[in-house]
Structure formats: C-alpha cells, structure tokens
Amino acid sequence: MTAGSPPLVALSIMAAIMAGALWGCVVDRSPTADAPIPPATASPQVVAAYHLVEDGQQQLALGNTDAAIATFQKALALAPSSPHANLALGEAKLRQADYRGALVYGDRVARLVGDDRAWLWRVALLRGQAYEGVGDRSRARAAYRDVLSVAPDNAEALAGLTRLDAE
C-alpha cells in the first residue's frame, strides 16, 4: 500500500455501499404499469427483463408497437418465465389485432402465475379483449366477469361487457 491511499478495508466498504445503493435503485424502480414488481431476490436476468419490459411499455405508449415487441422479445430471451414480459407481449399483440397471439401469451402468463390474485385480473382482461377481437363473445363475457370478480371496479372490463351487451 502506498502512502496516502485509503486502506483496503475502507475501499471494500465503499464498494459494498455503492453496490447496495445501485441495487436498491434497480429493485425499487417504479414500474410504468401497475403489474407486480419482481422480488428483491430475483435473478439479474429477471430484473433486466423487467426493465426491458418497462422500456417496451414506453415504446408502446408512444405508438411504436414493432419496437416494443422487439424489446419484449429481448426480455423473454433473458427470462422466458417472466410474467411481465409475456403479458406485455400479449398486450402488444392485441394492439396489432393479433388476437390469437395475445391468447397464447395470456395462457403462458396464466400458467406462470397460478392463482396469484395480483395477476389474475390482468390475464382475464387480456383474454377478454382477445376473445372479443376474434368474435367469441361468450368467452369474452366470461373473461370480463373474471376480471370483475377480482377487480370489481375495473373500467376496461365494465366497458367490454357494456360493448358486448350492446351488440
């Protein structure tokens, strides 16, 4: 060690503090959608995929669906079991009127999240919109009712049922 250089222990402590602060920024970053965030124990790939999904959602909000889909696919390449990435890709497929594709991703999310109430209504809403898009009014109604059983004030599900009842 040279004169004037900080002791190795002090450098290690500073590095640990900085790493903890950076990790806290990654984990505590607010999501752009109201989907549950990954737990603090999530792998780096899952966290990176989650942030790619956030980026894709911003692209989607700006109307750049193709770029958003490419970003969501990158997220899935990192974390194929990410419900965030699968749901986001399903929602992007809805925007492209690829209703069958949206249903595929909705089914994946349903398998990944099981009976997690924080996800159930999101999956049901995606399904309702996709079934409505393919013209399966019966399944769309059932899916919208599933949304309302978990989230009784969901405006999109209420609007979907209103549309279907008006037809």
Distance CA 101, CA 167 (A): 25
Q: What is the pLDDT of residues 56-112, one digit of tens each?
A: 999 999 999 999 999 999 999 999 999 999 999 999 999 999 999 999 999 999 999
Query: Shortest CA distance to 82 belongs to which of 22, 124, 42, 127?
Result: 42
Residue type, 156: E
Do 55 and 88 touch, CB atoms closer than 8 A?
no
pLDDT band per the 50, 70, 90 thresholds, residue 14 = very low
Do 28 and 20 touch, CB atoms closer than 8 A?
no
Verdict on whether the full-model pTM lies above 0.95: no
Look at the block and give the residue holding tokens 């549309």. 163
Distance CA 95, CA 41 (A): 33
Q: So what's the pLDDT on residue 46?
A: 87
Do 82 and 110 touch, CB atoms closer than 8 A?
no
Task: Using alpha carbons only, give the angle 62, 144, 87 rounded to the nearest 5 degrees.
Answer: 40
**Neighbour-count burial for 2-16, b at 16+ CB within 10 Å, e otherwise:** eeeeeeeeeeeeeee
For residue 86, what is the enclosing H or E element?
A: helix 83-95
For residue 46, how many other CB atoms are within 10 A of its CB? 19
